[in-house]
């Protein structure tokens, strides 16, 4: 009898209830629930024999692959904690994360052996496995997995077991967000029953998954970001909790054409992306060739806002699909979703209705008055993380108590309309203060991306003697297009107030973003200052 809201327990129950149902596809590799569970069990037993145990941290430094899924599941089976590791980090950054996360185990992509060797020289890890490569530190992954036992001989698990998501956001060094399984389930995974009422008992999740398969057949979610990003990891669990399949894109980078080509053959129902960094290429790919998109029901963006122009372009190309923005973070889980009417163009704002556990507060932790025009910080209560791993100061600043409840305030800025609708403005940490006026980069970026010549852009503030900060834009133009500073300035003035219009434009071959698709504002600022 399933008695805990523990991810490993739930997955094992799903594997028993739906053994032959596809659970994962990546490239040429397709695994059923039973096959994926069996491989993860063998890996867990191999680690168990090496001494890995409850509470130990195991890094996953991998591209999208079934090995990532197996490593995550194997760690959870042991009540250990999987740690997502950015595969674009150099040796020094890896060494920092190995140490900060107190890793005792690591599974890494063989192609990254040089950087891993450099990092391990600075901060050794006891148990290292190498995937897809003959040379480099550690033991062979497949050989180790094959040597593990097949029995689920593990200690009883708990709803309070840990799931840590390392997030760097848009600025700063990465921090580990500590979630109990039960809190992440209800805050970030729609209560284990996506589209329905949150589960009251763990068995509700299994019952709903079996019902979904019997009634609706194939259900596939394609998370476009790498699994090292919380968005993709959460989407994977949502797919499984519906009895569905997670369909992964191979490799280091997002391939929009490959994504589109999978929709028809794999009956992809939902594609999860991160803002315009994936939304724009996806729209261009759909416009450039014919694909079978009939199974596609939803394209959702999380982790970065899908701009109005890109959202409208996708809606035009996918008239029968729902194009939506999800709002939340690794620290808050799901905060809201913005839906759009068919007749809403690219001017539609990212808005959603306020709920009891989501509000907008001022600096004194008082709710913003609806319709006042005041700008405040988004706050969420209910199921929340315990805090940041080994960072008590940042935990105290982000997780606060007021009104008799504990709240998370991750730094997103918003205002509240007359009807209680929340309008998202942007991340406060990158807000630009120019002459006392606040400018949210996302709003200006949204305006510029509507220009037919602009493919991508990031907006930053640079030091200015008189105004404090000056608004500047780093821009990538579409192939075969050109745009002068004067033309971009004139266009921006038709969409945002004068003080928000960039004073300088820097045209570059490519906008640098994090692997998750989130903007790299540190890079953009250096570029604007001529330091890159």
Q: What is the 3-state secondary structure (H, E, C) of 175-241?
A: EEEEEEHHHHHHHHCHHHCCCCCCCCCHHHHHHHHHHHHHHHCCCEEEECCCCCCHHHHHHHHHHHH
Digit-coded pLDDT (tens) for 21-49 = 999 999 999 999 999 999 999 999 999 99
Does an H or E element contain 43, and which?
helix 33-50
CB 425 within 8 A of CB 396: no
Q: What is the pLDDT of residue 514?
A: 76
Q: Average per-residue pLDDT in the chain?
A: 91
Cα dihedral 46, 50, 51, 56 sign: negative
Q: What is the pLDDT of residue 129?
A: 98
Residue 426 has pLDDT above 90, yes or no: no
Considering only residues 366 and 340, tell me which one the structure prediction assigns the higher pLDDT. Answer: 366
Residue 358 has pLDDT above 70, yes or no: yes
* DSSP letter (8 states) at residue 500: G
Digit-coded pLDDT (tens) for 155-201 = 999 999 999 999 865 445 789 999 999 999 999 998 887 777 888 99
Q: What is the pLDDT of residue 346?
A: 67
Global model pTM greater than 0.85 = yes
Q: What is the pLDDT of residue 222?
A: 98
Task: Give the span between the Cα atoms of 463 and 274, in whole angstroms.
Answer: 29
**Could you tell me the CA-to-CA distances from 370 to 80, 316, 361, 416 in Å, in that order?**
45, 33, 11, 5
Kindly give the pairing relationship between strand 22-26 and strand 29-32.
antiparallel
Task: Give the span between the Cα atoms of 302 and 383, in whole angstroms.
Answer: 19
Considering only residues 173 and 433, tell me which one the structure prediction assigns the higher pLDDT. Answer: 433
Q: For the chain, which domains are there?
A: 7-200 (3.40.50.980), 349-427 (2.30.38.10), 431-528 (3.30.300.30)
- Arithmetic mean of pLDDT, 361-381: 92
Q: What is the pLDDT of residue 88?
A: 85
- Report residue 494 as tokens: 């038709």
One-character DSSP codes across 313-336: HHHHH-TTSEEEEEEEETTTEEEE
Residue 349 has pLDDT above 80, yes or no: no
Q: What is the pLDDT of residue 170?
A: 46
Question: What angle, rounded to 10 degrees, do the helices at 275-288 and 441-449 form?
Answer: 10
474 three-state secondary structure: strand
Lowest-pLDDT range of 74-83, 120-129, 321-330, 520-529: 321-330
- Arithmetic mean of pLDDT, 371-398: 94
Residue 401, Cβ neighbours under 10 Å: how many? 10
Digit-coded pLDDT (tens) for 169-181 = 544 578 999 999 9
Digit-coded pLDDT (tens) for 44-98 = 999 999 999 999 999 999 999 999 999 999 999 999 999 999 998 889 989 999 9
Residue 342 has pLDDT above 80, yes or no: no
Q: What is the pLDDT of residue 347?
A: 65
Q: What is the pLDDT of residue 171?
A: 47
Residue 430: band (very low, low, confident or very high) from pLDDT cuts 50, 70, 90: confident
Instruction: Give percent above pLDDT 70 in the chain.
Output: 96
**Could you tell me the CA-to-CA distances from 317 to 3, 222, 230, 326 in Å, in that order?**
45, 18, 28, 20
Task: Give the span between the Cα atoms of 501 and 451, in whole angstroms.
Answer: 14
- Report residue 271 as tokens: 């594609």
Kindly give the pairing relationship between strand 127-131 and strand 103-109.
parallel
Those residues with Cβ within 8 angstroms of residue 31's Cβ, 6 or more apart along the chain or in another chain? 22, 23, 24, 25, 39, 66
- Arithmetic mean of pLDDT, 346-361: 77
276: Cα within 13 Å, side-chain hemisphere: 25
Question: What angle, rounded to 10 degrees, do the helices at 33-50 and 7-17 form?
Answer: 140
Q: What is the pLDDT of residue 515?
A: 67
Digit-coded pLDDT (tens) for 477-527 = 999 999 999 999 999 999 888 999 999 999 999 999 876 677 889 899 999
One-character DSSP codes across 420-464: SEEEEEEEGGG-EEETTEEE-HHHHHHHHHTSTTEEEEEEEEEEE
Residue 371 has pLDDT above 60, yes or no: yes
């Amino acid at each position: 009898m399933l008695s805990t809201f523990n991810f490993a327990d739930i997955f094992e129950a799903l594997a028993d209830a739906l053994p032959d149902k596809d659970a994962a596809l990546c490239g040429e590799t397709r695994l059923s629930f039973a096959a994926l569970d069996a491989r993860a069990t063998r890996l867990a037993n191999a680690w168990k024999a090496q001494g890995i145990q409850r509470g130990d941290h195991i890094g996953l430094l991998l591209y999208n692959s079934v090995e990532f899924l197996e490593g995550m599941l194997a760690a959870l089976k042991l009540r250990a904690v999987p740690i997502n590791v950015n595969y674009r980090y150099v040796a020094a950054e890896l060494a920092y994360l190995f140490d900060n996360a107190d890793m005792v185990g690591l599974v890494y992509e063989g192609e990254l052996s040089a950087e891993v060797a450099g990092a391990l020289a600075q901060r050794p890890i006891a148990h290292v496995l190498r995937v897809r490569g003959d040379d480099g530190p550690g033991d062979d992954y497949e050989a180790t997995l094959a040597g593990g036992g097949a029995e689920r001989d593990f200690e009883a698990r708990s709803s309070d077991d840990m799931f840590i998501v390392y997030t760097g956001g848009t600025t700063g060094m990465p921090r580990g967000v500590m979630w109990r399984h039960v809190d992440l389930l209800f805050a970030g995974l729609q209560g284990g029953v996506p589209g329905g009422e949150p589960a009251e008992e763990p068995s509700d999740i299994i019952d709903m998954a079996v019902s979904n398969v019997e009634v609706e057949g194939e259900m596939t979610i394609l998370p476009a970001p790498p699994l090292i990003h919380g968005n993709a990891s959460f989407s994977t669990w949502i797919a499984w909790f519906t009895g569905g399949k997670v369909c992964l894109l191979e490799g280091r980078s997002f391939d929009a054409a490959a994504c589109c080509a999978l929709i028809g053959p794999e009956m992809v129902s939902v594609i999860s992306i991160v803002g315009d960094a994936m939304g724009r290429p996806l729209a261009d790919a759909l416009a450039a060739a014919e694909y079978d998109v009939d199974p596609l029901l939803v394209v959702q963006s999380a982790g970065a806002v899908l701009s109005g122009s890109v959202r409208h372009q996708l809606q035009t190309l996918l008239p029968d699909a729902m194009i939506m923005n999800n709002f939340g973070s690794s620290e808050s889980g799901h905060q809201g979703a913005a839906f759009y009417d068919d007749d809403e163009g690219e001017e539609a704002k990212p808005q959603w209705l306020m709920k009891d556990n989501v509000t907008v507060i001022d600096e004194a932790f008082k709710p913003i008055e609806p319709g006042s025009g005041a700008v405040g910080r988004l706050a969420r209560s209910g199921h929340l993380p315990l805090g940041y791993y080994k960072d008590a100061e940042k935990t105290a600043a982000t997780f606060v108590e007021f009104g008799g409840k504990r709240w998370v305030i991750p730094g997103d800025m918003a205002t509240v309309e007359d009807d209680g609708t929340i309008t998202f403005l942007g991340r406060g940490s990158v807000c630009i203060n120019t002459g006392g006026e606040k400018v949210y980069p996302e709003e200006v970026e949204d305006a510029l991306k509507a220009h037919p010549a602009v493919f991508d852009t990031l907006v930053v503030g640079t030091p200015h003697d008189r105004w404090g900060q000056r608004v500047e834009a780093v821009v990538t133009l579409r192939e075969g297009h050109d745009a002068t500073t004067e033309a971009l300035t004139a266009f921006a003035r038709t969409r945002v107030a004068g003080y928000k219009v960039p004073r300088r434009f820097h045209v570059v071959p490519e906008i640098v973003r994090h692997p998750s698709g989130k903007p790299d504002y540190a890079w953009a600022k250096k570029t604007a200052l001529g330091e890159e």
